[in-house]
Amino acid sequence: MPTAEPPRRGSGARARSRQRPSERTRTGDPARLAAYRLLRAVDDGAYASLELPRILRAGRVGGRDAAFATELAYGAIRLRGRYDPILAITAARELSAVDPPVLDVLRIGAHQLLGMRVAAHAAVSETVALARQVTGAGAAGFVNAVLRRVGERRLDEWLELVAPASLEPGARLAIRESHPLWVVSAWRDALLGHGRSDRESVAKELASVLAADNEPPRVTLVARPGLATTDELVAAGATTRGRWAPTAVILPSGDPGQVAAVREGRAAVQDEGSQLVALALAAAPVTGQNGPDPARERWLDLCAGPGGKAGLLAALAVQRGADFVANEVNLTRAELVRQTLRAAAATGRAGQVKVRTGDGRDVGGLEPAAYDRVLVDAPCTGLGALRRRPEARWRRTPADLAPLTALQAELLASAVEATRPGGVVAYATCSPHLAETVFVVRDLLRRRPDVEQLDTRQWLRDRDSQPLPSTGAGPAAQLWPDLHGTDGMFLALLRRRG
């Protein structure tokens, strides 16, 4: 997201923005209308990443307009914690008294004025036109007045007003970097608990990781081994290799669906941290005798939906002649996994790649000691993936932790039961929260003396086979959005002893 601040508004800009709403364009442009529709859909419970493509297709918004709509909508959703205190001042009322559709229009206008390189007069006039189209003439006048006031100060001036230095540091950072206060506290605890920070450095590093949460992630593709190569993806428009994973490339612009390998399931959009998790599980050595056919391993993704890591693991399993099972409890997500694995399944032996539906908590009891490698990509709060899930920070609450950590513990226990002696379990979350990461693993180890924790850092390696830097003191590993440019993935590798 471009963050350069527009210059302080001069008298000409203010004069233009003071045009009466009746003198302005009567309908919003398609890109801003698409952004508004996404904000309304998210307010109704939709997921931005799933809903936006449908909205763009329905509105026939493509090319630069689609990029503008995406930046505008995602920025307005991510940064509403920054913009809402400013809007409350300029609206001279509690935002709870503003109709939600009107508030979404105001957030769209505020982001153009304070977070994008959009001329002030265009930001105000086009947003007022959008308001007239979607909320009526009366609301358009209100939007015009509020946005004129927003445009009278630069972003840094507003932040000094709504989040002054006198404010408690956590609360100040919550406003400035637009995160709920409990998320700010969770990140601070994670920085300390995972060993990245100490008491002296934590404030600076907390500001860094929260700022990274507000940067749109690059589109990263995975070349699934044996199905596609990074050279093929570069030839199709990707510009650079990934920073870490040997399977990763960066797509700087355009629709990934236009890349043939992606359409055919031989490649996919996948965060580089997610790729590293799958590669680490495949690299960690198993020991001892693995069932009736020692040359043929069995791999399991215990909760596979929507299928990103399963797609990479299945390709690796087929390459090695291993059997791969993807288990998913949700029927719809299981179908997504099935589509994702179709290319890998077509290249292997009949029945080598399977997708099935079932509760991962039951697998250990139903198939004890049946697998050599098991991935538990556990459902979590997703605090490490807030860059790509703009609405998640406003939906999750501390009350989500207790049921999630209970589920995570049950899934991990089931995975251990399903793993044969000498086999390896990878426990991963896209959250750094201590309750979802080190505490879950610690409690499992306390209950299971037959499980040992491996030094994950030995197997979490870059494309030159070197250990990734800055992943912590071990034995688990934590990735950081600001240091690694990935989601904040946590990974622990465990081996079941004989």
Q: What is the DSSP string of 401-443?
A: HHHHHHHHHHHHHHHHHHEEEEEEEEEEES---GGGTHHHHHH
Catalytic residues: 430
Q: What is the pLDDT of residue 290?
A: 57
Higher model confidence: residue 7 or residue 118? Answer: 118
CB atoms within 10 A of CB 367: 17
> For the chain, what is the mean pLDDT?
92
Per-residue pLDDT at 103 exceeds 70: yes
Per-residue pLDDT at 475 exceeds 80: yes
Higher model confidence: residue 26 or residue 466? Answer: 466
Q: What is the pLDDT of residue 240?
A: 83
Q: What is the pLDDT of residue 291?
A: 52
Q: What is the pLDDT of residue 257?
A: 86
Q: Where are the domains of the chain?
A: 11-156, 163-213, 272-496
Q: What is the pLDDT of residue 238?
A: 86
On whether the CB atoms of residues 277 and 309 are closer than 8 A, the answer is yes
Which tens digits make up the pLDDT trace of 158-193?
999 999 999 999 999 999 999 999 999 999 999 999
Q: What is the pLDDT of residue 296?
A: 84
Average pLDDT over residues 254-267: 92
Which tens digits make up the pLDDT trace of 368-414?
999 999 999 999 999 999 999 999 999 999 999 999 999 999 999 99
CA 28 and chain centroid, separation:
30
CA distance linking residue 179 with residue 30, whole number of Å: 29
Residue 255 confidence class, pLDDT cut points 50, 70, 90: confident
- Residues in Cβ contact with 494 at an 8 Å cutoff, skipping those fewer than 6 apart: 416, 424, 425, 426, 427, 441, 444, 445, 451, 452, 453, 454
Average pLDDT over residues 467-483: 95
Q: What is the pLDDT of residue 485?
A: 95
CA distance linking residue 427 with residue 445, whole number of Å: 13
Per-residue pLDDT at 436 exceeds 60: yes
Residue 294 confidence class, pLDDT cut points 50, 70, 90: low
CA distances (Å), origin 320, targets 19, 170, 226, 346: 68, 49, 10, 15
Average pLDDT over residues 38-51: 95
Average pLDDT over residues 4-23: 40
Phi/psi of residue 355, each to 5°? -120, 130
Q: What percent of the chain has pLDDT over 90?
A: 87
CA distance linking residue 427 with residue 439, whole number of Å: 12
Q: What is the pLDDT of residue 25?
A: 53
Average pLDDT over residues 229-244: 91
Q: What is the pLDDT of residue 253?
A: 82
Which tens digits make up the pLDDT trace of 441-472?
999 999 999 999 999 999 999 999 999 999 99
Q: In the CATH scheme, what is the code of domain 11-156?
A: 1.10.940.10
Q: Look at the domain 272-496 and name its fold.
A: Rossmann fold (3.40.50)
- Residues in Cβ contact with 156 at an 8 Å cutoff, skipping those fewer than 6 apart: 5
Which tens digits make up the pLDDT trace of 324-367?
999 999 999 999 999 999 999 999 887 899 999 999 999 999 99
Q: What is the pLDDT of residue 293?
A: 57
On whether the CB atoms of residues 239 and 219 are closer than 8 A, the answer is no
Q: Using omega within 30 degrees of 0 as the cis cutoff, is the peptide bond preceding 469 cis?
A: no
Residue 12 confidence class, pLDDT cut points 50, 70, 90: very low
Which tens digits make up the pLDDT trace of 187-226?
999 999 999 999 999 999 999 999 999 998 999 999 999 9
Residue 30 confidence class, pLDDT cut points 50, 70, 90: very high
Give the CA-trace dihedral at 120, 121, 127, 130, to 10 degrees: -160
Residue owning tokens 């860059």: 387
Q: What percent of the chain has pLDDT over 70?
A: 93
